[in-house]
Amino acid sequence: MSGRIQKAEGRRQNGRKGGRKSLAFILAPVFCILASSFWLLFFSNDLVAEPIWREATPGYQFAFPRDHAAHTDYRIEWWYYTGNLATADGRRFGYQLTFFRTGITPEPSNPSRWTVRDLYMAHFALSDLTNQKFYAFEKLNRAGVGWAGAETNQYRVWNEGWEARLEGDQHILSAAEGNMQLALTLAPEKVPIIHGEHGVSQKGAAVGNASHYYSLTRLRTTGTLTINGEELPVSGSSWMDHEFGTSFLEPEQVGWDWFSLQLNDGRELMLFQIRRADGSIDPHSSGTLIEPDGRTIRLSQTDFTLTPTQPWRSPASGASYPMTWKIAAPAHGLHFLVRAAFPGQELQTTASTGVIYWEGSIIASSNDAAQGIIGRGYLEMTGYIGKRMGAVFDAVTP
């Protein structure tokens, strides 16, 4: 669930462009180590391994399906699925299934299977839009005897019983926690969209403060959700992000708001803005508009505005999140409203990161009320409670 919440502050790098949402999830563990606690200060030198991780540098050539699989040379990697689904009788659901890999020691000396080369985290959330119910689960594992992992020669990533893999060109997702389950087949309807330039999505000024980042923005989705034991055949549309790199964010970033939208007209829109400590919007905020034919238009921070309204205060955490956003990209003729499918889609990832964030299904509608719903998607909002993301890791631990 949480994935992207944390915005870690950069540890040694002065990256400037905020990574996307999900980045933070991954970074969190790494940064938190460095962060506040005294002993972290004491030992961080030892713990943060010598940088033998590979940096994301321009010129990377993507190839598929190879690049779906894990890139274990890089420190951080995640696979991120969100989607909006419905049953035949119109019950609507949103889901999120995310797998994270964080490298800890690139070349461990101890041959034990339990040696922590990588840490694997996964978040799984279901939103029952009709009943406005939200279910979220998390996992944190080392590879061990195969309790979690990400294969390099073919696409398969898993954490205990949760799994995403490729069969042909179809992504097979499965996750279960008690009587909440998900079993979906995702068929891409568009080619992979590669973000950034020259194969890298630059996140900061320094070379290497970047990631390799692509998305499958429209995946036709069919399968079954089990909600409280009730098996429901569903279909709908999903979005997949896959990003890998080694170093990312910077400290002034307080939080971010990330949107992925599939518009009814065949376009998709990805937007994120990073909020800085001084209240300004980070210049690395950006977006991508994908045309029905897969052509992409890069949106820089100045190309769009995001205006939050309708704050909702979470009874659980006390955080206040905007439930409606006005989105405008005048150059591209985009003016519409985005609202949360329902407010209660907040996650508290106590077991893994301790970050509190909101991530849920959203509905896009035209400013002109007559036109009704123009698309659906997912929104992630982080840094609305507690300190900045960098300090957020102080939050409760088990």
Partner 1 sequence: MLPLCSLFHQFILRALLREKLRTALTILGISLGVGVVVAIRLANSNALGSFRAATEAVAGETTLEITGTAGRFDELRLRELSWLRDYGRLSPVVTGYAMTEPTSATEKKGEFLQILGVDILRDRLLRQYDLLQLREGDREPNAREFLLLLADSQAVVVTEKFARRQGLTLGSTFTLIISDRKSEFVIRGLLRDEGPARALDGNFVLMDLAAAQWAFQRLGSLDRVDLKLAPGVAVEVAEAEITKRLPQGLVIVRPAARYSQMEKMIAAFHFNLNALASIALLVGLFLIYNTVSISVLTRREEIGMLRAVGTGRGVVLALFMGEACLLASMGAGLGLGLGQLMAKAAVQATSTTVETFYLAVVNPGATQPLQGVEGAMAVGLTLLLALGAATRPAFEAAQVAPLEAIRGPERLLKSRQWSWRAPVAACGLLILGGLLSRLAPVNGLPVYGYSAALALVLGGVLCTPIILWTMCRQGDRRLIRLPRLLPVERLLARASLGAAIPRVAISVGALAVSLAMMVSVSIMIGSFRETVVYWIEQTLRADIYARPLTRVTSIAEGDIDPAALALVAADPAVVAIDALSVQRVNFQGNTISLAGGDYAVLFDHGRLLFKAPQDAYDQLRRGIGRDVVSVSESFALRFGKGPGDVVELPTPLGLRPFEVIAVFYDYSSNHGVAVMDRTTYFRYFPAARPSSLSIYLQPGANPEEVRSRLASAVGSRYLVVFNTNRGLREEALRIFDSTFAITYALELIAIAVAGLGVMATLMTLILERRREFALLSMLGMTRGQMRRMLMIEAVYIGAAGQCIGLIIGVLLSLVLIYVINVQSFGWTIQFHVPMAFLAQSTLLILVAAAVAGLYPAARAMSANAAQGAREE
Using CB under 8 A, list all residues that contact partner 1.
29, 32-33, 36-40, 42-43, 46-47, 104-105, 108-116, 119, 140-142, 144-147, 160-161, 351-354, 393-394, 397-398
Q: Which CB, 269 or 385, lies closer to partner 1?
A: 385
Do 107 and 54 form a contact (C-beta atoms < 8 A)? no
Spatial distance between the Cα atoms of 280 and 307, rounded to a whole number of angstroms: 13
Q: Which CB, 90 or 398, lies closer to partner 1?
A: 398
Cβ 321 to partner 1 shortest distance, Å: 24
Q: Are strands 320-329 and 305-313 parallel, antiparallel or unpaired?
A: antiparallel
Cβ 127 to partner 1 shortest distance, Å: 25
Q: Which CB, 47 or 316, lies closer to partner 1?
A: 47
Q: Which CB, 38 or 63, lies closer to partner 1?
A: 38
Cβ 275 to partner 1 shortest distance, Å: 24
| Full 3-state SS string of the chain | CCHHHCCCCCCCCCCCCCCCHHHHHHHHHHHHHHCCCHHHHHHHHHHCCCCCCCCCCCCCCCCCCHHHCCCCCCCEEEEEEEEEEECCCCCEEEEEEEEEEEECCCCCCCCCCCCCCEEEEEEEEEEECCCCEEEEEEEEEECCCCCEEECCCCCEEEECCEEEEEECCEEEEEEEECCEEEEEEEEECCCCEECCECCEEECCCCCCCEEEEEEEEEEEEEEEEEECCEEEEEEEEEEEEEEEECCCCCCCEEEEEEEEEEECCCCEEEEEEEEECCCCECCCCEEEEECCCCCEEEEEHHHCEEEEEEEEECCCCCCEEEEEEEEEEHHHCEEEEEEECCCCCEEECCCCCCCEEEEEEEEEEECCHHHCEEEEEEEEECCCCCCCHHHHCCCCCC
Cβ 110 to partner 1 shortest distance, Å: 4
Q: Which CB, 102 or 217, lies closer to partner 1?
A: 102
Cβ 204 to partner 1 shortest distance, Å: 24
Q: Which CB, 145 or 369, lies closer to partner 1?
A: 145
Cβ 183 to partner 1 shortest distance, Å: 17
In the chain, the amino acid numbered 38 is F
| Maximum distance among all Cα pairs of the chain, rounded to whole angstroms | 64
Cβ 66 to partner 1 shortest distance, Å: 27
Q: Which CB, 50 or 278, lies closer to partner 1?
A: 50
Cβ 60 to partner 1 shortest distance, Å: 29
Spatial distance between the Cα atoms of 27 and 34, rounded to a whole number of angstroms: 11
Token pair listed for 362: 């959203």
Q: Which CB, 43 or 62, lies closer to partner 1?
A: 43
Cβ 160 to partner 1 shortest distance, Å: 7
Cβ 4 to partner 1 shortest distance, Å: 16
Q: Which CB, 161 or 294, lies closer to partner 1?
A: 161
Q: Which CB, 82 or 102, lies closer to partner 1?
A: 102
Q: Which CB, 48 or 187, lies closer to partner 1?
A: 48
Do 393 and 353 form a contact (C-beta atoms < 8 A)? yes
Cβ 116 to partner 1 shortest distance, Å: 5
Spatial distance between the Cα atoms of 317 and 340, rounded to a whole number of angstroms: 18
Do 327 and 337 form a contact (C-beta atoms < 8 A)? yes
